[in-house]
């Protein structure tokens, strides 16, 4: 049986509760980036339009601003969805994990790649709600495997930890090279 849909049904979209907040944010960011265009790009006299360093960034940021404005207009004209601030709080709370990554990146040069990776893997596993010893142990083993894969097998050059300097000579060289 062939079902015929109306245009309204075809273009109906699911809206999240934080849609209007996201629309305002997208418009604000796109207008800000567009306002910085003259300072961040150059316009060369006598050059072809499509070869100008400012042309394609201007086209993309202009389109981004236009579509962000349309998104805001569509969100503002739609019915209000309850739960907006719970959705926004979910977005903000997810930034916690960016903070964890920054803390990890700061810790590696001091504590070393192996200890930092194991500690952060176990702490983050605990943070997301896993409490069983076997799961925390699996996180530690996975961290050790990751370190062995990247530092030992793939020879990825990562910063050595200052803590390794306090180790005895033979162990220090092994830790600096492989862990």
The predicted-structure confidence for 88-121, as pLDDT tens digits, reads as follows 898 899 999 999 999 999 999 999 899 999 999 9
Q: How many other β-carbons are positioned within 10 Å of the β-carbon of residue 139? A: 19
Q: Cα–Cα distances in Å, from 133 out to 22, 49, 121?
A: 40, 63, 13
The model's pLDDT over 43-69, given as tens digits with 9 standing for 90+, comes to 778 778 787 888 899 999 999 999 999
Same structural domain, 65 and 131: no
Lowest-confidence range among 8-17, 30-39, 50-59? 8-17
Q: Which of 30, 63, 92 is the last residue of a domain?
A: 92
Same structural domain, 106 and 142: yes
Query: Could you tell me if 18 and 88 are in contact, meaning their C-beta atoms sit under 8 angstroms apart?
Result: yes
Residue 136 lies in a domain: yes
Most confident segment among 31-45, 50-64, 132-146, 160-174:
132-146
Residue 134 lies in a domain: yes
Residue with tokens 């004209």: 77
Residue 12 has pLDDT above 80, yes or no: no
Residue 54 lies in a domain: yes
Residue 19 lies in a domain: yes
pLDDT of residue 159: 79
Percent of the chain with pLDDT over 70: 92
Distance CA 159, CA 119 (A): 17
pLDDT of residue 169: 87
Q: How many other β-carbons are positioned within 10 Å of the β-carbon of residue 135? A: 14
Q: Cα–Cα distances in Å, from 116 out to 56, 71, 73, 121, 141?
A: 42, 43, 47, 8, 13
Tokens standing for 70? Answer: 């349309």
Same structural domain, 103 and 38: no
- Which residues span the domain enclosing 142? 95-178
Q: Which of 65, 92, 119 is the last residue of a domain?
A: 92
The model's pLDDT over 72-90, given as tens digits with 9 standing for 90+, comes to 998 888 777 788 888 889 8
Same structural domain, 99 and 65: no
pTM confidence score: 0.64
Residue with tokens 């339009």: 49
Q: Which of 59, 92, 125 is the last residue of a domain?
A: 92
Q: Where are the alpha helices (DSSP H) in the chain?
A: 7-10, 19-35, 37-40, 55-77, 84-94, 96-111, 113-127, 133-147, 169-178
pLDDT of residue 3: 65
> How many domains, in total, are found in the chain?
2
């Amino acid at each position: 049986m062939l079902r015929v849909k109306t245009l309204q049904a075809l273009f109906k979209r699911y809206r999240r509760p934080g849609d209007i907040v996201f629309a305002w944010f997208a418009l604000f960011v796109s207008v800000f980036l567009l306002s910085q265009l003259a300072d961040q790009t150059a316009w060369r006299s006598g050059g072809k339009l499509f070869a100008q360093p400012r042309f394609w960034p201007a086209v993309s940021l202009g389109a981004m601003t236009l579509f962000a404005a349309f998104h805001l207009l569509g969100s503002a004209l739609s019915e209000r969805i309850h739960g907006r601030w719970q959705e926004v709080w979910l977005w903000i709370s997810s930034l916690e994990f960016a903070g964890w990554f920054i803390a990890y990146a700061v810790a590696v040069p001091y504590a070393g790649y192996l200890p930092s990776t194991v500690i952060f893997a176990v702490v983050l596993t605990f943070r997301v709600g896993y409490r069983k010893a076997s799961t925390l142990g699996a996180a530690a083993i996975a961290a050790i495997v990751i370190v062995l894969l990247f530092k030992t097998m793939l020879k990825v050059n990562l910063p050595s930890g200052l803590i390794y300097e306090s180790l005895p000579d033979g162990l220090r060289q092994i830790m600096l090279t492989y862990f």
